[in-house]
A and B are shown apart, each in its own frame.
Chain A
């Protein structure tokens, strides 16, 4: 199902509100009109009952022979009058009156004065029942037999005219209601469109942009809505960040290409010169040694580039228990040849039984680079020492790699950790990627990396939290 636009959703909601309001209002109106009609009918019936009561009490001959008149006469006649005026005992019709002490007839309504509804065929009759009770004066000498039975009188009213009136009233009011609610819905839609206008403009601008093809982020519209303006500002900010990352990636690629150019150029120049003329075997082998040296540089660089990529896209660290002493023995073994060639002594100090919960591969990336740098940047000759020490500091494990040497220049210190920055630019060794890899791997381990350097010594300290990684 295609998702609806915000505008369509608002229009649909407004339409539903319109329909629901119209239906509810119509029902309320109908009920109100019906209640009002019932109340009016009850008033008429009450008045009629009072009139009948007065009529009974005023009959001089003791005979109910009253005339039905008024607006309801037609209805009484047409609707079986006998049903409307029903005496419980026909003899009561003969009440003897005429003396001052003649019996009076009291009138009261049955069923607590409530009207009831009875159906005659399709006709609904609303009626009230009146009880007339003769009350005889104590001094009256006449026969009391005729006066003992109460008289029951039913007053009824056909509901149909009222119902028709109700329906007519409701029918004439509903269009007005529909108009009012339609107007309300239109205003609601206008307001909604006004509210979503900025959002729609922003959405359309972004929707039509093709960043992949042009690398140009669209110029976002100026908007008035505070919330949409905040979204647009955030988008601009995100775009700036994305652009910086994008530029950094290309910059990295360019720098990597430049780094690759150097050993390639060295190989080509060496081979070009070597192949220009006949060479002795010794001369040829010397040239090949130079080519091999350039190949090693290229190999080292590509290995570092692959490590950089792995670090950047690595997922969660795979934590396991590692014996630090054993780990560094393996590392030292791997670098023994390089250390020997540069007359550098490698030494491990600290707690030999220390174990650490960490990611083996990330630790290897960190310390292979740190140890390699420490060896390469140590002065060649007797006395150069690269020392690795490991100690537990509270919940953390602190590992330092230190070397003697000329230290890191202040201007280089600021950018250490950025790709292709060398600790000593005068050195021909190193790809400039080692500390960048170390920084990235340390971040994966939530470890803190500190580098201190003076004119005689450089100390790199890695503080690895233990609780955090093991929990």
Chain B
């Protein structure tokens, strides 16, 4: 899942990026409102983590722009502003969640996952397809109760298939969700991931779960 972090405090932004990346999120981090507006319009994010007190303006400006354009990307406001008035303003402008600093990273992570699922209108943290189960919180995959070891990127691709089940996902769409702005990937890297994933699933007894739609992409059946 791809996350945009708009945070001007260097150490906080760095820690969030590192922590979420280690949880298989593709994280873009910018530190100004201008860059935040630019990135949010250039890419489709699964969740946006937004600081309010940015050097070139309020994070609420970005929120207004997003909502005025009808973008429904979940937004989590992460700020030191902790008054009720600030929170009310945030929710009135269309934020989906509000977390005040200092914060516990695990809480941020759980909220981001919940928001990401909500975007795809999925409310259960455990997603399943027959004997295959994917726990979005525990970051585990099991087949008939036995764990299936996947890399972070493989997990991210499988999670995306679960979240967009029955939808045909193009290679670009998949890449958009698992790679950041700075990542360098070849044109066939998604195909390589899909093949590896298929092999691991087949080894665990799950066959033909991911179907290739020629000329379009892949779909989870």
Which residues of A line the B interface, CB within 8 A?
258, 261-270, 272-273, 276-277, 290, 293-294, 425-426, 428
Contacts and interface: CB of A to CB of B under 8 A. Distances in A.
Given A262-B80, A265-B101, A270 B15 contact: yes
Contact of B22 (A273, A425, A426): A273
Given A276-B22, A290-B11, A428-B8, 17 more contacts: A261-B101, A262-B9, A262-B12, A264-B102, A265-B101, A267-B102, A268-B104, A268-B105, A269-B16, A270-B11, A272-B104, A276-B105, A425-B55, A426-B32, A426-B55, A426-B56, A428-B10
B80 A273 contact: no
A266 B12 contact: yes
A263 B80 CA distance: 11
A294 B102 contact: no
Contacts of A267: 11, 102
Contacts of B56: 425-426
Contact of A272 (B10, B14, B19, B32): B19
Interface of B: 8-12, 14-16, 18-19, 22, 32, 55-56, 80-81, 101-106
Contacts of B101: 261-262, 264-265
Main secondary structure of the interface of B (DSSP, over half): loop
A425 B55 CA distance: 5
Contacts of A428: 8-10
Contacts of B22: 273, 276-277
Contacts of B8: 428
A261 B102 contact: yes
Contacts of B81: 258
Given A272-B19, A273-B22, A265 B103 contact: yes
13 contacts: A261-B101, A262-B12, A265-B80, A266-B9, A269-B16, A269-B19, A270-B11, A273-B18, A273-B105, A290-B14, A425-B55, A425-B56, A428-B8
B11 A276 contact: no
Contacts of B32: 426
Contacts of A262: 9, 12, 80, 101
Contacts of B105: 268-269, 272-273, 276
A318 B20 CA distance: 55
A249 B11 CA distance: 29
Nearest to A262: B9
A57 B128 CA distance: 163
Contacts of A266: 9-12, 15
Main secondary structure of the interface of A (DSSP, over half): helix
Nearest to B102: A265
A273 B19 CA distance: 5
A76 to B, nearest CB: 112
Contacts of B14: 270, 290
B11 A269 contact: yes
Q: Which of B10, B14, B18 gathers the greatest number of chain A CB atoms within 10 Å?
A: B18
A272 B20 CA distance: 12
A276 B80 contact: no
B81 to A, nearest CB: 8
A269 B16 CA distance: 7
A247 to B, nearest CB: 15
B12 A261 contact: no
Contacts of A294: 11
Contacts of A264: 101-102
Contacts of A276: 19, 22, 105-106
B12 A269 contact: yes
Nearest to A270: B15
A293 B55 contact: no
A276 B20 CA distance: 11
B19 A265 contact: no
Contacts of B10: 266, 428
A387 B10 CA distance: 30
A258 B100 CA distance: 11
A256 to B, nearest CB: 12
Contact of B15 (A277, A290, A425): A290
B152 to A, nearest CB: 12
Contacts of B16: 269, 273
A269 B15 CA distance: 6
Contacts of B11: 263, 266-267, 269-270, 290, 293-294
A269 B103 contact: yes
Nearest to A424: B55
Contacts of A263: 11
Closest 9 A/B residue pairs (Cβ):
A272-B105, A266-B11, A273-B19, A269-B15, A265-B101, A265-B102, A426-B55, A261-B80, A270-B15
Nearest to A283: B18
Nearest to A422: B55
A266 B19 CA distance: 13
Contacts of B9: 262, 265-266, 428
Contacts of B15: 266, 269-270, 272-273, 290
A258 B15 CA distance: 19
B79 to A, nearest CB: 10
B25 to A, nearest CB: 13
B102 A258 contact: no
A263 to B, nearest CB: 8
B104 A265 contact: no
Contacts of B103: 265, 268-269
A255 to B, nearest CB: 10
A262 B13 CA distance: 11
A124 B142 CA distance: 141
B102 to A, nearest CB: 4
A435 B14 CA distance: 29
Nearest to A263: B11
A426 B80 CA distance: 17
A269 B51 CA distance: 14
Q: Which of B9, B11, B19, B104 gathers the greatest number of chain A CB atoms within 10 Å?
A: B11
A341 to B, nearest CB: 16
A277 B106 CA distance: 12
Q: Which of A263, A268, A272 gathers the greatest number of chain B CB atoms within 10 Å?
A: A272
